[in-house]
Structures are given as structure tokens and as C-alpha cells.
Amino acid sequence: MKAIESVYSSMHIGSRAAVCLLAAGFAASTSSAAGAESILLPQDAPHYRTGDNWTYLWSDLLSGKSKTITQTVTSVHADGSASLLLGPGGGRVELTSEANVIPNEAAQHACSIALHFPLRAGTRYEADCQAAGEAGTTVLRRAQCEVEGVEAIKTGAGSFSAIRIRMRGVWSPQSGAGGGPMEETLWYAPAVKRVVREEFQGRLAGKGVPATTATELVRYAVKP
């Protein structure tokens, strides 16, 4: 982030751990059930259970790099928030009651209110996000969000009825020069309690080929 080039690189990398992706012993929700369930708006915040887990595949469409990340609920707190164990690596992050990751040293990508419940079609709000790169750089994002409605979406984990949230705004380095416009789209599926797909595009000062990353759910197991 001390140079524009490193900031732009970190913007690619930072989305890999997103809002900012298994299990025996309990009945997991199935993909077919999730896809068949109709969503009623407004939609309230999810209720987590110990053992709920989600495996995500992060992909950089320009470089071809990809990474798989698993998040498992290890404890649920009185306010509805949850502690997550990350794999591989064993890092830990906190998840708010509204399914937003709280920034810390293990959270390379985190948004304060990327999701803001109850979700209602047409609702608008502002989100502040951050992404951290491999060189220790930090990129900040500020976006106007809009809940656009419900649509069907397919990921590696199956087909889901999901609520689409569009984010448009700007990204900038925490220090130094650089920045530009960005756009991000999230699909939140109530049946699995999390975002099932995220697509990000950002440009350096609005020029050049946009950084393009995608994160999608490939496996999950959740308790009712």
C-alpha cells in the first residue's frame, strides 16, 4: 500500500477471505431443500449453532489463483454473535449477529454492515469494509448498499434462493496515494445463514483492467 501497485495487488488478495467459505452428528441442510425454499421479505438475522460450518472457494479471475477456506462456529454468544475457527491455519474471527465478520489480524476481508437486517427490498445503507494484502497493506472500502430483491443462484454447494445486495463505492489505501471505484454484489441465502456468493470488481483510479474476484460456497452443514 506504500505504492499504488501494491495497493492494487492487495485489493485482489484481500477479498479471498470474505464478509470479508461439513459434518457428522447432526442433520445438515441439503442443497435441494435450500433451493426449493421460498424467501419472504423482510428477512430477519440468522441464528447460529455450534458446529455450523461453511467452506468457500475464493478465486482471482485475472491471475487464476484460488484458495479454499472453511469457517466453523465454535461458540455462540448471548447477543447472537459467534466465534469462528478458520481452516486451514487455525485462525479465529468473530461473526456479528448480522453475519458480518469483525476485523482482526485473521480477517483479511471484513465489512462492518455488508448485511443489515432485517433485509427489505429497496433498503439502502452504507458499509465500511477493509481488506488486507500479503505485504501487510490495508485497503479501505466505503460503499452504498441496496437490497435489490430475491433470485435463484447456483454455486458449488447447490442451488439457492438468495437475497441480492449490491454495493457501489470507492476503495482507497489506508495510507498513501491510490484508490478508485468498486462494485460488489452479495447473495445471502437464509437457508444456510450466510452469503453464498460474492463478486467484486475494482479499478485503480478508474482505469485499466478491473481487479475481479469471486467467493462462493462449495460445502456447508448447518443446524436448524
Q: What is the per-residue DSSP string for 19-77?
A: -----SSSPPPPHHHHHH----SSBPPP---TT-EEEEEEEETTT--EEEEEEEEEEE-
Q: Identify which of 25-29, 140-144, 147-151, 209-213 has the greatest average pLDDT.
A: 147-151
Q: Report pLDDT for 144.
A: 96
Query: Which three cell numbers mark 141?
Result: 472500502
Q: What's residue 1's pLDDT?
A: 32
Query: In which residue are the cell numbers 481487479 written?
Result: 211
Please report, rounded to a whole number, the percentage of residues in the chain having pLDDT higher than 70: 77
Q: What is the DSSP letter of 80?
A: S
Do the Cβ atoms of 199 and 58 come closer than 8 Å? no
107 vs 72, more confident: 72
Give the total number of structural domains in the chain: 1
pLDDT of residue 11: 37
The side-by-side arrangement of strands in the sheet containing 138-155 is 92-95, 82-87, 66-76, 53-60, 207-221, 194-204, 180-189, 158-173, 138-155, 124-132, 109-111
Residues 94, 82 contacting (CB under 8 angstroms): yes
- Contact indicator for 130, 138 with CB cutoff of 8 Å: yes
User: Which CATH number goes with the domain that contains 59?
Assistant: 2.40.360.20
pLDDT of 132 > 80? The answer is: no
Question: What is the predicted pLDDT for the residue at 137?
Answer: 73
pLDDT at residue number 2: 31
Express each pLDDT in 13-65 by its tens digit: 333 333 333 222 223 333 333 443 578 899 999 999 999 999 999 998 888 99
Neighbours of 45 (CB within 10 A): 17
Domain that holds residue 48: 4-221
Say which range, 34-38, 134-138, 173-177, has the weakest mean pLDDT: 34-38
Q: How far apart are CA 129 and CA 109, in angstroms?
A: 7
